[in-house]
Structure 1
Amino acid sequence: MAPRAQLSQERSRQRREALLEAAVDLFVEGGSRAVTHRAVAAAAGLPAATTTYYFSTIEELLREALNHHIEAWIATMESLADVDVQGMMSLVTADSSVHFATSILALRPPETATRELSVILGAARDPELRETAVTALTTGQDVLVKVLRRAGIPDPEGLAEDMVAFIAGVALRRTAGVNEEDEEAAKVVRAMRSMIIGHLVDDETGTQMLMDLRDSAISGRSDASP
């Protein structure tokens, strides 16, 4: 009896997982309007009545699907805290950095970026899921803080915030197909280097550089005026 019951529970779990994944796929492809009981069941390869067996409303199904996906994403982000920082730091030269960035983008193709961006945006628009979306973003930020600190970056919190915003922008750019992937990798490295160097420059030096740039610009305009 016990093995049969366990088999039934496992089958039920697999069906529920299939429904959740199908709901996310439909949401990414067509938004919330594409997520219907019939469409989800068909995408999961299950009978039409299966969704109502597990979820009382389509809103409950979609909300649970987005939450489930984000929880898995958070777990993935947390696992990245154990990344080989010394190995990463050995790739600081320009050519190696671009090669490394290219390999990372290859592991997370544009379709993956589109999926994650769509899910987090969808959750952020739902008052009941907004806190989950915030947790996803802050978890990514916390992971970056740990990695940057282990890499010897002082006061990495602000830099981590900037990097999370940049990563979201890269996901949007890749979703739109603005650049070829090798070009995107080079631009990612350039932006990351700029952010890190800018972070390492103290406020006084940075302010003086901006003032010098301002003075140069004003002087240039003054020379060009009649």
Structure 2
Amino acid sequence: MTSRAQLSQERSRQRREALLNAALDLFVEGGSRAVTHRAVAAAAGLPAATTTYYFATIDELLREALQHHIQGWLATMARLADVDVQGLVGFITKDTSVEFAAGIFAQRPATTATRELAVILGAARDPQLREAAVTALTTATDVLVKLLVSAGIPDPSGLAEDMVSVVAGVALRRSAGVNIEAEEAVKVVRALRALVIGHLIDDEAGTQMLEDLRQQVLSGRSDESP
């Protein structure tokens, strides 16, 4: 049978969790200025004095809310490291890869992308939370490295870093609503395929291709000269 003390502890935990989630929602919607004791308590559906009971200052509340969210995001990334790489290998074929990307977008809508960006950028601006933001991004890279190794991609570290950059850029585009989701799925596949293909071409071949392109450009300019 659950004791009265245990019930009290669980209620306290739930209230604290509600305050952290409310603070994060307000931060995403309006930045740090929107996060006040009164606003957080109201958003959490709790008495106004509740926030000061659990958190000495609004800065402490906001920092813990961001930290709490990033820790949850890291746990999600850790679970992704155990998924089957079939979807990743699907990027080798165009049609299945677009379907795979569209499926991910359906599970993680644009609102989720907006939230993640706001949280990581907010943490990056705070000297006391910057390390957490760095950890979030490097953990995402580490997860991709493991997936790329499983997919048979050699020396994947640099490729994983580049892929994280593309994913972050796609999240920004989705937040702004630049493209409809179906178009965005096609564009992200195009970008990631280009990265993988570029990674698989050895340095000598890649350098030669760039030199050939440079010569074509210079030759075209020369032909246009009087």
Same fold (TM over 0.5): yes
* TM tier, smaller: over 0.9
Once residues 128 and 40 of structure 1 are traced to their aligned partners in structure 2, the CA distance between those partners, rounded to angstroms, is 21
Indicate how the Cα distance of structure 1 residues 27 and 155 shifts in structure 2: closer, same or farther if over 3 A, else same. Answer: same
Normalising by the residue count of structure 1, what TM-score does the alignment of the two structures yield? 0.98
**C-alpha offsets along residues 41-93 of structure 1, whole Å, 9 cap, x if unaligned?**
00000000000000000000000000000000011001100010135425632
Once residues 34 and 176 of structure 1 are traced to their aligned partners in structure 2, the CA distance between those partners, rounded to angstroms, is 21
2:115 maps to: 115
Give secondary structure in 1 for the equivalent of 2:81.
helix
What amino acid is aligned across from residue 82 of structure 1 in structure 2? D
2:70 maps to: 70
2:89 maps to: 89
1:208 maps to: 208
Give secondary structure in 2 for the equivalent of 1:128.
coil
Once residues 101 and 75 of structure 1 are traced to their aligned partners in structure 2, the CA distance between those partners, rounded to angstroms, is 21
2:175 maps to: 175
Once residues 105 and 8 of structure 1 are traced to their aligned partners in structure 2, the CA distance between those partners, rounded to angstroms, is 40
**C-alpha offsets along residues 123-165 of structure 1, whole Å, 9 cap, x if unaligned?**
0000000000000000000000000001000000000000111
Does residue 17 (structure 1) correspond to residue 17 (structure 2)? The answer is yes
The runs of 5 or more residues in structure 1 that have no matched partner are none
Provide the identity percentage: 76
Within 5 Å, which residues of 2 pair with 1:1-226? Answer: 3-86=3-86, 88-90=88-90, 92-226=92-226
Give secondary structure in 2 for the equivalent of 1:56.
coil
**C-alpha offsets along residues 11-41 of structure 1, whole Å, 9 cap, x if unaligned?**
0000000000000000000000000000000
Normalising by the residue count of structure 2, what TM-score does the alignment of the two structures yield? 0.98
Question: How far apart are 1:225 and its partner, in Å?
Answer: 1.4
Once residues 201 and 118 of structure 1 are traced to their aligned partners in structure 2, the CA distance between those partners, rounded to angstroms, is 36
Once residues 2 and 198 of structure 2 are traced to their aligned partners in structure 1, the CA distance between those partners, rounded to angstroms, is 62
Give secondary structure in 2 for the equivalent of 1:179.
coil
What amino acid is aligned across from residue 23 of structure 2 in structure 1? A
Q: How many residues align?
A: 226
Once residues 221 and 2 of structure 1 are traced to their aligned partners in structure 2, the CA distance between those partners, rounded to angstroms, is 82
Give secondary structure in 2 for the equivalent of 1:83.
coil
Question: How far apart are 1:96 and its partner, in Å?
Answer: 0.9
Give secondary structure in 1 for the equivalent of 2:92.
coil
| Root-mean-square deviation over aligned CA pairs | 1.1
Indicate how the Cα distance of structure 1 residues 87 and 173 shifts in structure 2: closer, same or farther if over 3 A, else same. Answer: closer
What amino acid is aligned across from residue 14 of structure 1 in structure 2? Q
**Structure 1 stretches of 4+ moved >6 Å:** none
